[in-house]
């Protein structure tokens, strides 16, 4: 399971919280990178000693030329882009695989609620159905996880563990012998569906909706099991993985020569100082190689790395929880009693301890939202001055600016009054509408002068087009 450090980084203060987890060993980057860094250091210092003590004058000149060439070569490799994009894909894929892990909880809740009956046969049906769910999950994990495969190497080990019976083992084995080229994880889910159908016929499931709901949950469970197999069958394209790996190793192979400290007396640009130990090069190796190791760990989370999924625990947990839901807690609930706030109706808030008092959330003050409460709108407590609360209408514009009835007469013309030959009746052309109140209501709160200008332009343009 992924190494958890959530509690240590719950609150950030002072110099930060990552210092608390920086020196952990299990699941750490040091555990992954140190062997590579040690090997890289041996090669680097071997070349450095050769340059300083083993080569003659001509050999050192050639070494210096090769070093300058490798330094230029290393800058032409787009390592950051290639490696960063690859790691992003791997992390996204890793989280998607976790979300594809099937959990039987929802299906068990439906089974416990909808498959009624306190008799032994009803109990047997419920327990058998949820056991078949866990069998399907275990069958899938045996095909993709080395941890589960080592725990249950054969079907007989599932029988010994109590997940399947002797008769069920024989049926599965017979079907495997008949059709070996396809996985049979879905077989136990077929059995679960058959039991549900029988329970429906016997009246233990009262209606079609309940029956369909359980079938739907079983189908979702099967879909997630199949999704795990999809991730196992279809990997990140091999060519991309090879490109990234070759880019990283080529870059640092070039750095073995390109980052050597050359004789500062020669005046070679960038080699004015001789530190012997390339601290920044080793730091760069640590970060880039650590990035690649992250991808190597997360590309398949069903292995034996420190951060891989604890699928064996998942099998045990799902079987135990499934039996608790459909058997131990079936049709059981605490006695119905009035709650503490029965008379009050809706409590203002639940009490706080002394340790939690300073976490009290701002609520209401004098029946109004507290100004410090961030869950109300940011302007919820802004008060608009009383004189600015009066509605702004067109009548108020007329009162302030005046309204000239003669000036506001707007020329209008009806389309049906245009003659067939495109001319307009001269009598109709002189008609004007003087109903200013109708114009004010239809055009909202625009200023009167703007309305008049706009309408005059529109109607005059229509008349000209008609003519």
Task: Read off the pLDDT of residues 35-80 as tens digits, 9 standing for 90 and up.
Answer: 999 999 999 999 999 999 999 999 999 999 999 999 888 888 889 8
φ, ψ at 151 (rounded to 5°): -80, -40
Looking at residue 435, its pLDDT comes to 45
Looking at residue 129, its pLDDT comes to 97
- Tell me, yes or no, whether 446 lies in a domain: yes
The set of residues, in sequence order, having a beta carbon less than 8 Å from that of 302 and lying 6+ positions away, is 97, 141, 144, 145, 146, 147, 232, 308, 309, 311
- Tell me, yes or no, whether 458 lies in a domain: yes
pLDDT digit string, tens, across residues 287-340: 999 999 999 999 999 999 988 999 999 999 999 999 999 999 888 888 999 999
374 against 252, higher pLDDT: 252
163 against 423, higher pLDDT: 163
Report d(CA 189, CA 137) in Å as an integer: 10
Cβ–Cβ contacts within 10 Å for residue 33, how many?
Answer: 21
266 against 153, higher pLDDT: 153
- Tell me, yes or no, whether 439 lies in a domain: yes
Report d(CA 405, CA 435) in Å as an integer: 9
461 against 118, higher pLDDT: 118
Report d(CA 58, CA 103) in Å as an integer: 69
- Tell me, yes or no, whether 175 lies in a domain: no
DSSP assignment of 377-422:
-TTTT----GGG-S---HHHHHHHH---TTTT-EE---GGGB-TTS
Closest CA to 318 of 465, 104, 113: 104
Range of the domain at 410: 398-466
- Tell me, yes or no, whether 408 lies in a domain: yes
Cβ–Cβ contacts within 10 Å for residue 412, how many?
Answer: 17
Looking at residue 395, its pLDDT comes to 58
Looking at residue 433, its pLDDT comes to 43
- Tell me, yes or no, whether 436 lies in a domain: yes
- Tell me, yes or no, whether 177 lies in a domain: no
pLDDT digit string, tens, across residues 162-214: 999 999 999 999 998 888 778 899 999 999 999 999 999 999 999 999 999 99
Of the listed ranges 76-85, 157-166, 205-214, 244-253, the one predicted with least confidence: 76-85
- Tell me, yes or no, whether 427 lies in a domain: yes
Residue-level length of the chain: 467
Q: Indicate the number of domains in the chain.
A: 1
Which 3 state secondary structure label does DSSP give 424?
Answer: strand
Mean local confidence (pLDDT), 240-255: 94
- Which stretch of DSSP H or E encloses residue 432? strand 432-433
Reported as a pLDDT band with limits 50, 70 and 90, residue 453 is low
Cβ–Cβ contacts within 10 Å for residue 354, how many?
Answer: 6
Left (φ > 0), alpha (ψ -120 to 50) or beta: where does 171 sit? alpha
Residues 172, 136 contacting (CB under 8 angstroms): no
54 against 416, higher pLDDT: 54
Residues 402, 448 contacting (CB under 8 angstroms): no
Report d(CA 420, CA 405) in Å as an integer: 34
Dig out the tokens for 378 from the structure. 């940011």
């Amino acid at each position: 399971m992924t190494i958890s450090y959530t509690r240590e980084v719950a609150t950030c203060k002072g110099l930060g919280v990552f210092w608390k987890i920086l020196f952990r060993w299990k699941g750490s980057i040091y555990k992954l990178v140190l062997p590579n860094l040690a090997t890289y250091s041996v090669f680097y210092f071997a070349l450095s000693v050769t340059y300083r003590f083993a080569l003659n004058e001509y050999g050192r000149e050639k070494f210096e030329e090769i070093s300058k060439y490798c330094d230029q070569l290393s800058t032409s490799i787009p390592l950051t882009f290639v490696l960063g994009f690859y790691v992003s894909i791997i992390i996204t894929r890793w989280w998607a695989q976790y979300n594809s892990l099937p959990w039987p909880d929802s299906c068990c809740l439906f089974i416990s609620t909808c498959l009624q009956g306190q008799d032994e046969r009803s109990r047997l049906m419920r327990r058998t159905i949820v056991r078949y769910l866990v069998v399907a999950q275990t069958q899938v994990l045996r095909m993709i996880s080395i941890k589960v495969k080592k725990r249950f190497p054969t079907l007989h080990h599932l029988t010994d563990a109590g997940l399947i019976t002797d008769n069920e083992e024989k049926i599965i084995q017979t079907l495997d012998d008949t059709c070996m080229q396809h996985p049979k994880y879905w077989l136990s889910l077929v059995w679960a569906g058959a039991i549900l159908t029988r329970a429906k016929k016997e009246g233990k499931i009262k209606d079609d909706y309940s029956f369909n709901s359980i079938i739907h949950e079983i189908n979702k469970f099967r879909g997630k099991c199949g999704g795990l197999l999809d991730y196992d069958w279809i990997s990140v394209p091999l060519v991309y993985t090879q490109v990234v790996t070759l880019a990283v190793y080529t870059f640092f192979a070039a750095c073995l020569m390109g980052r050597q400290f050359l004789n500062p007396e020669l005046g070679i640009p960038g080699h004015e100082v001789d530190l012997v130990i390339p601290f920044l090069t080793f730091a760069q190796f640590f970060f880039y190689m650590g990035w690649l190791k992250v991808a190597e760990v997360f590309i398949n989370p069903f292995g034996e790395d420190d951060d891989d999924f604890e699928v064996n625990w998942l099998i045990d947990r799902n079987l135990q929880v499934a039996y608790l839901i459909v058997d131990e807690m079936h049709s059981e609930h605490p006695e119905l009693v009035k709650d503490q706030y029965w008379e009050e109706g809706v409590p203002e808030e639940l009490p706080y301890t002394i340790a939690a008092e300073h976490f009290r959330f701002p609520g209401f003050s004098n029946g109004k939202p507290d100004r410090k409460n961030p869950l109300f709108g940011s302007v919820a407590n802004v008060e608009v001055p009383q004189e600015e609360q009066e509605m702004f209408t067109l009548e108020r514009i007329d009162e302030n600016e005046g309204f000239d009835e003669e000036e506001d007469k707007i020329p209008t013309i009806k389309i049906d009054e245009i003659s067939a030959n495109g001319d307009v009746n001269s009598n109709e052309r002189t008609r004007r509408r003087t109903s200013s109140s109708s114009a004010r209501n239809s055009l909202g709160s625009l200023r009167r002068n703007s309305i008049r200008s706009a309408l005059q332009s529109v109607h005059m343009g229509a008349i000209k087009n008609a003519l």
